Amino acid sequence: MSLVVFGSLARDEWTSQSDLDWGLLIDSQAHPEHLKVAQTIAKLFKENELGKDPGPNGVFGNMIFSHELVHQVGGENDTNSNTTRRLLLLLESTPIGTVDAYNRVVRAILERYFETDTNLLTPDQSRYRVPRFLLNDIVRFWRTMAVDFASKQRERPSGGWALRNIKLRMSRKLIFVAGLLTCFSCYLKGLPILQNDPEKSTGVLIEHLNGYVNKAPLQILADALLVYDVRRETVLALFNSYDAFLECLDNDDQRGHLEKLSFENSNSDTVFQHMGEIGHQFQQGLDNIFFRDSEDLQQLIQKYGIF
């Protein structure tokens, strides 16, 4: 077993009002003791007031079994909860304490994305391709988050819409961007080519991607801004806007206001409108990265980001 945290704590963006999203990752046969351990963890977190409880949908705050994460990728049995846990395990997770189960499951998930890929190199054999299976799952996850936002607006009309809207524009979008940059790095990073050994080539990609699992999304973004020589104006737009977003989440009055704000009143609300402008600034920075500042990323987003 490994205790794993997700969300703002795993992204190194913890604020005073953050939820504590966690899961007890289990990589073994089911045992009655597993539930007792999960219940003890939940009790300790609550008694010590370590963040707000996980969301009400049950995705976090309980046991997570490795079998579904590895074997149910796509198809009818790959539920929203399973997809969320699998992708967030790769894109924003941190183990606390014993890491053996965590490391095994992460590697097994990455191996799952490559097990049927027999053509890892570009036609000229000069570099690795962008891993389409993994990329498509990341894109699907981003679209699922966007669709679920609309669904929650209907299911939870009493409140929380404005805060979820801002998070979708900022932190949720950042996760997606980090996933894109991770996949694109397989093509752009100049990894060692092993033309006649597909198994070792797969190992090269898995080791490379595994290194990204241990980085926070903001770090992945910052590394890309340096590697692809992005303009200073773009860097400032991205990090100034994201800093303002985190500042808002750490402000009890503003966060509480957004949690209670309804969709009907959002157009005339100064706090929400200001945060909307912050979201536009962040999006403008992303547009510059992928469509203006870097020719490499521009070509990749055109080829892989749509079709």
The one-character DSSP state at 22 is E
CB atoms within 10 A of CB 182: 24
Write the pLDDT tens digit of every residue in 226-263. 999 999 999 999 999 999 999 999 999 999 999 999 88
Domain assignment of residue 70, given as a range: 1-115
Clarify whether residues 187 and 86 are in a common domain: no
pLDDT value at residue 1: 95
Question: Do residue 217 and residue 137 come from a single domain?
Answer: yes
Q: 138: which 2 tokens?
A: 């990341």
pTM here is 0.93
Domain boundary among 100, 115, 130: 115
Distance CA 291, CA 112 (A): 31
Residues 206 and 110 in one domain: no
Whether residues 52 and 181 fall in one domain = no
Residues 6+ apart with CB under 8 A from 236: none
Q: What is the pLDDT of residue 157?
A: 64
31 and 180 share one domain: no
Check whether residue 132 and residue 173 sit in a common domain. Answer: yes
Q: Where does a domain end: 85, 115, 145?
A: 115
Residue 124 has pLDDT above 80, yes or no: yes
- Can you give the pLDDT at residue 123? 86
Residues with Cβ < 8 Å from 261, sequence gap 6 or more?
A: 159, 161, 162, 163, 269, 271, 272
CB atoms near residue 160 (< 10 Å): 17
- Token reading at 234: 């773009």
pLDDT band per the 50, 70, 90 thresholds, residue 37: very high
Question: Which residue, chain included where needed, has tokens 């509480």?
Answer: 256
User: Do 173 and 301 sit in the same domain of this protein?
Assistant: yes
